[in-house]
């Protein structure tokens, strides 16, 4: 393992110092970053979704842009557009916020599907196409999207193709009483963010991302991933089970989990630790539930499969 991996502990500690009392949420966020994935945070307002994105960007010294999604937001507001410069007598590209390294897509479900789809190429291929010209995005490139699963007025549910581009979906949840008291003592948001120091450079993050593919996964663990995928497809509570791309995402997230833990090989617990946030949002349930009910049902279903299916020894 590269010495950069040893710095991941400092990155996690720095973000934990800002998002107090949520170590598993922070761990999953770092796993998504290391796995070159994107993160969907589905939770109520005011629990630290924006704070998480800001702290992560500061911890890796990455460029950061926040996009506030509204129903009148246009794809060009995200990607950018060519504007004519009269003095130079030529068109000049005005780059949109998608060109930053870490993007916070705040309340992503408040924009139309057409605007949401502006993120698809960037999230899937690391590039954007503007008026027929393709531009590569600077690595690392990560989208952290948020949405409120309780309020439905004026929202547009994310289509399955968009959901599938997110490596993980997580919930932050309310803090415990003790942690909330620490938050009240910890100063303002700006003061807490000021204490976050870069633990890694963007170049080191890219090196770690490239090395994750070398983490070893035993044949028995591949069989376990396949068994989980098959179980979701055969469960009568599920209308559409985990796709092959979802199986690949689960395997890669398990590799990233092992890497963050400082190992160059996977163990069954790596798969179990990331299975719920990787699989649950990719399932289309037969019940047709939405919002908090869908989250609870899908996560409970995956947790039940993990208990039922025997893990490799």
End-to-end Cα distance, the chain: 25
Q: Can you give the pLDDT at residue 141? A: 95
Could you write out the three-class secondary structure of the chain? CCHHHHHHHHHHHHHHCCCCCCHHHHHHHHHHHHCCCCEEEECCCCCCHHHHHHHHHHHCCCCEEEEECCCCCCHHHHHEEEEEECCCCEEEEEECHHHCCEEEEECHHHCCHHHHHHHHHHHHHCEEEECCEEEECCCCCEEEEEECCCCCCCCCCCCHHHHCCCCEEECCCCCCHHHHHHHHHCCCHHHHHHCCCCCCCHHHHHHHHHHHCCCECCHHHHHHHHHHHHHHHHCCCEEECCCHHHHHHHHHHHHHHHHHCCCCECCHHHHHHHHHHHHHHHCEECCCCCHHHHHHHHHHHHHHHHHHCCCCC
Cis check for the bond before 140: say yes or no (omega within 30 of 0): yes
pLDDT reported for residue 184: 83
Contact between 34 and 260 under an 8 Å Cβ cutoff? The reply is yes
Q: Which residues contact 288 (CB under 8 A, 6 or more apart)?
A: none
Query: In the predicted model, what is the mean pLDDT of residues 268-280?
Result: 96
Confidence check: pLDDT of 272 > 90: yes
Average pLDDT of the residues in 278-302: 85
pLDDT value at residue 2? 59
Q: Of 24-33, 149-158, 174-183, 290-299, which one has max mean pLDDT? A: 24-33
In order of start, what are the domains of the chain with their CATH numbers?
A: 1-72+99-211 (3.40.50.300), 213-313 (1.10.8.80)
* pLDDT tens figures, 113-141: 889 888 999 999 999 998 888 999 999 99
Exposure string over 189-203, b if 16+ CB within 10 A, otherwise e: eeebeeebebbbebe
Question: Angle, nearest 10°, between helix axes 23-34 and 268-279?
Answer: 90
pLDDT for 29 beyond 60: yes
pLDDT tens for residues 130-183? 888 899 999 999 999 998 876 666 678 888 888 889 999 998 888 889 988 888
**In the predicted model, is pLDDT for residue 88 greater than 80?**
no
**Phi/psi of residue 201, each to 5°?**
-90, 160
Average pLDDT over residues 271-294: 87
Specify the higher pLDDT residue, 193 or 66: 66
Interatomic CA distance for residues 186 and 17, integer angstroms: 10
Q: What percent of the chain has pLDDT over 90?
A: 59
Q: Which residue has the tokens 């003095």?
A: 87
Q: State phi, psi for 176 to the nearest 5 degrees.
A: -70, 170
pTM greater than the 0.85 cutoff: yes
Contact between 89 and 129 under an 8 Å Cβ cutoff? The reply is: no
């Amino acid at each position: 393992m590269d010495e950069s991996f040893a710095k991941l502990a400092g990155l996690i500690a720095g973000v934990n110092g800002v998002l107090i009392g949520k170590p598993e949420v922070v761990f999953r966020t770092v796993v998504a970053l290391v796995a070159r994935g994107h993160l969907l945070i589905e939770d109520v307002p005011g629990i630290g979704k924006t704070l998480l994105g800001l702290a992560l960007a500061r911890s890796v010294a990455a460029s950061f842009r926040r996009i506030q999604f509204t129903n009148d937001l246009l794809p060009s507001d995200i990607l950018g557009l060519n504007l004519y410069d009269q003095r130079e007598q030529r068109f000049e590209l005005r780059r949109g916020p998608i060109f930053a390294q870490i993007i916070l897509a705040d309340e992503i479900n408040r924009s139309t599907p057409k605007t949401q789809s502006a993120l698809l190429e960037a999230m899937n291929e690391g590039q954007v196409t503007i008026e027929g010209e393709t531009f590569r995005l600077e690595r690392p490139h990560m989208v952290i999207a948020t949405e409120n699963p309780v309020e439905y007025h004026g929202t547009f549910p994310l289509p399955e193709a968009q959901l599938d581009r997110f490596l993980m979906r997580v919930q932050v949840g309310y803090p415990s009483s003790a942690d909330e008291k620490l938050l009240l003592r910890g100063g303002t948001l700006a003061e807490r963010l000021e204490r976050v120091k870069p633990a890694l450079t963007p170049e080191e993050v890219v090196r770690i991302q490239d090395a994750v593919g070398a983490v070893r996964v035993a044949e028995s663990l591949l069989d376990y991933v396949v068994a989980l995928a098959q179980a979701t497809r055969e469960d009568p509570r599920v209308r559409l089970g985990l796709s092959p791309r979802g199986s690949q995402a689960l395997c890669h997230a398990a590799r990233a989990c092992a890497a963050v833990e400082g190992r160059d090989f996977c163990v069954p617990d790596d798969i179990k630790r990331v299975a719920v946030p990787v699989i649950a949002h990719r399932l289309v349930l037969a019940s047709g539930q939405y919002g908090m009910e869908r989250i609870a049902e899908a996560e409970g279903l995956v947790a039940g499969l993990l208990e039922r299916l025997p893990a490799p020894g």
